[in-house]
Chains A and B, each alone.
Chain A
């Protein structure tokens, strides 16, 4: 018998609300807004309140998908990453770096976002870097 609450930061947007994830016998069973956090003061939006659901959701993608003949087919990470890099390379060579842009995400960490913009500027060679909230 084991129940605990694990403080964590909501991954949905950049506000930084603190959620307490309820863990019962190793299973994620709920989210509670933290009362101690000065950002959200014991409140959450509907995304935060249901943040535990997507972790265990059956709909969650477990492998990369590649569209072949209009249909998504399961693929390995190697296949997917090779396809992305070769396509990016091809576009860069044929249409120039500024024909590419990247929209990074609030659901990533600072470090991941840093790496994304670094890759776009240093590897691809464009300043077209923005954020998913601008979509």
Chain B
């Protein structure tokens, strides 16, 4: 904690960064805040609650493109940033990430297999093996029951758009889910399963499995399970895992030569 404060203080003093996006203790709660003054740093905190900092920095970086900005990153934030760099939404050379490893409790709660970024100054690296039980349970159901399971879960949707709004890698200016001819206005629940599968398709090659969508869903739709399956399919077909820091382009950014065939299998 103190290490983070000192590091941010040094960077701000040196002028290496113009501001630092982190969490501030405001009225007893930790909420996102952009630190520009040294005096505010005494309220800098890490906290257990995860907010989409990578999404917030987008708004700030778009307005202040010439500035270097610091940002607190957990393992998931780092993955989100990598996807945003790759999709040319953020300039990597302008960001200074400060790594924070999550507590064991948070890692467990998030069912996170890598609860720490590549470099961090707070916390320690914990290895948690991802629990695939829910996914396996659903996969093992016969097709009609599996379909019934999803129709039941998705039918609870109140179309709050929270999953999209909180998603750190949802950055499109125009969203398919607001395209009136496709998604009729004022209809609740939205068309099941078209609405949710549209989003799932758009998450392919993008979802970094942070779980913020599921955490923010007011009707507890197991969205992460759905997107995780999409992630696994993309990995299997294209050998691509969103959020991995490699010199690769996302499958969405490639025009193939027409030779690609989807292997036979039960998807």
Are A and B co-members of a single complex?
Answer: yes
Q: Which residues of A contact B34 (CB under 8 A)?
A: 1-4
Does A24 touch B at the CB level, under 8 Å?
Answer: yes
Q: How many residues of B contact A (CB 8 A)?
A: 35
Does A32 touch B at the CB level, under 8 Å?
Answer: yes
* Cβ-neighbour of A24 out of B59, B160, B162 (below 8 A): B59
A1, B67: Cα distance in complex, Å: 10
Contact between B67 and A3 (Cβ–Cβ < 8 Å)?
no
Does A16 touch B at the CB level, under 8 Å?
Answer: no
B18 CB to closest chain A CB (Å) equals 6
Contact with A along B1-45 (1 / 0, CB 8 A): 000000000000000001101001011111111101000000000
Contact between A32 and B51 (Cβ–Cβ < 8 Å)?
yes
* Cβ-neighbour of B33 out of A4, A25, A36, A42 (below 8 A): A4
Contact between A24 and B33 (Cβ–Cβ < 8 Å)?
no
* Cβ-neighbour of B162 out of A3, A5, A33, A34 (below 8 A): A33
CB-based A-B contact count at 8 angstroms: 81
Q: Which residues of A contact B24 (CB under 8 A)?
A: 4
Contact between A34 and B31 (Cβ–Cβ < 8 Å)?
yes
Contact with B along A34-46 (1 / 0, CB 8 A): 1110001011111
Contact with B along A8-42 (1 / 0, CB 8 A): 00000000000010101100011011111000101
Contact segment of B114-122, B214-222, B232-240: B214-222
Contact between B63 and A24 (Cβ–Cβ < 8 Å)?
yes
Residue ID in chain A nearest B28 by CB atoms = A36
Contact between B59 and A30 (Cβ–Cβ < 8 Å)?
yes
Contact between B60 and A24 (Cβ–Cβ < 8 Å)?
yes
A41, B22: Cα distance in complex, Å: 20
A42, B30: Cα distance in complex, Å: 13
* Cβ-neighbour of A29 out of B21, B59, B162, B217 (below 8 A): B59
Contact between B49 and A5 (Cβ–Cβ < 8 Å)?
no
Q: Which residues of B contact A46 (CB under 8 A)?
A: 158-161
A26, B67: Cα distance in complex, Å: 19
Contact between A44 and B218 (Cβ–Cβ < 8 Å)?
yes
Known contacts being A3-B34, A24-B60, A30-B59, is A35 close to B49, with CB within 8 Å?
yes
A79, B34: Cα distance in complex, Å: 45
Q: Can you give 13 contacting A-B residue pairs, CB < 8 Å?
A: A1-B19, A3-B34, A3-B56, A5-B31, A5-B33, A7-B27, A24-B60, A25-B63, A43-B160, A43-B218, A45-B160, A46-B160, A49-B162
